[in-house]
Amino acid sequence: MAKIKPSKGAPYARILGVGGYRPTRVVPNEVILETIDSSDEWIRSRSGIQTRHWANDEETVAAMSIEASGKAIADAGISAEQIGGVIVSTVSHFKQTPAVATEIADKLGTAKAAAFDISAGCAGFGYGLTLAKGMIVEGSAEYVLVIGVERLSDLTDLEDRATAFLFGDGAGAVVVGPADEPAIGPTVWGSEGDKSETIKQTVPWTDYRSGEVAKFPAITQEGQAVFRWAVFEMAKVAKEALDAAGISTEDLDVFIPHQANERIIDSMVKTLKLPESVTVARDVRTTGNTSAASIPLAMERLLATGEAKSGDTALVIGFGAGLVYAATVVTLP
């Protein structure tokens, strides 16, 4: 019996560069109030959101991804030809096939990189990061591009008072590459499919195609159920990720949770008893909930503003539709 030669990858992996793209159109709460009975004060108190970005016709999922990826590649100090894998997490690319990752890989100028899409909602960035780490350690790629990108304005029901104000568009990307010491901790991830009805698409595409429903499908959620789950269950997952990485809250420099809702973020900070010295991402205020894009966009902004710095230890956690979740500790690029 022949023996298969073992893979030879890097001993560890790390994030080497990060980039983001936010659409040019900034949408204040006043625009949302044109279609729902609410107030700016109510939206801010319930979510922390003041503005969000909505894409125009030219700012497609692919176009936004390419812009963010170009910045991440430059930040990592490598060339596109060195990228061996492109992983795109999105729920708002409306072509079932081919994967938008293949278009992105080609237009960036990679040398025929492996390219595929994943659908893991707001936990998608964490899922992609974990897959990229495995590819590098296993040896199937030296550098992997992980992209979280959404055009959630296409899936927003502007007459739904519970969700109309939540969602935004944008793309965030990171380059993951080899490292000589651990810089991406073990991932604590999973799913709770018994709760899948709490965040979902209103109707299947087939119902819209057949004419059974006239209204284009949108994302809907049970706000209170999601809030309770995110605050109590995800705080436990975050603690498990810290334990898996062998660090405590006292060792943390930065906390980058999925930017779903500032009330959820505040509650998680309180439940985790994070020290005041920990920088907490609050990109949701001006970017809204961008699902898979929210963590890399928040990471990019913290580094750009100097609120976080290269080498900081950060806890990242994504959670959302499925219900799915993924948390890990990383060293910032």
Rounded distance, CA 151 to CA 130, Å? Answer: 23
What is the Cα–Cα distance from 200 to 36, expressed in whole angstroms?
Answer: 20
* DSSP-derived secondary structure for 71-131: HHHHHHT--GGGEEEEEEE-S----SSS-HHHHHHHHHT-SS-EEEEE--GGGHHHHHHHH
Residue 136 · residue 9 · CB < 8 Å:
yes
CA-to-CA dists, residue 196 to 165, 191, 216, 232, 323, angstroms = 22, 9, 20, 17, 5
For 134-253, strand residue ranges (E) read 143-151, 169-179, 188-191, 199-201, 219-221
Query: Is residue 258 among the annotated active site residues?
Result: yes
Active site residue 122: yes
Out of 29, 53, 93, 289, which one is annotated catalytic?
A: 289
65 Cα distance to chain centroid? 13
**Residue 29 appears among annotated catalytic residues:** no
| Identity of the amino acid at 178 | P
Q: Which of 53, 93, 258, 261 is catalytic?
A: 258
In the set 29, 53, 93, 122, the catalytic residue is 122
Catalytic positions are 122, 258, 289
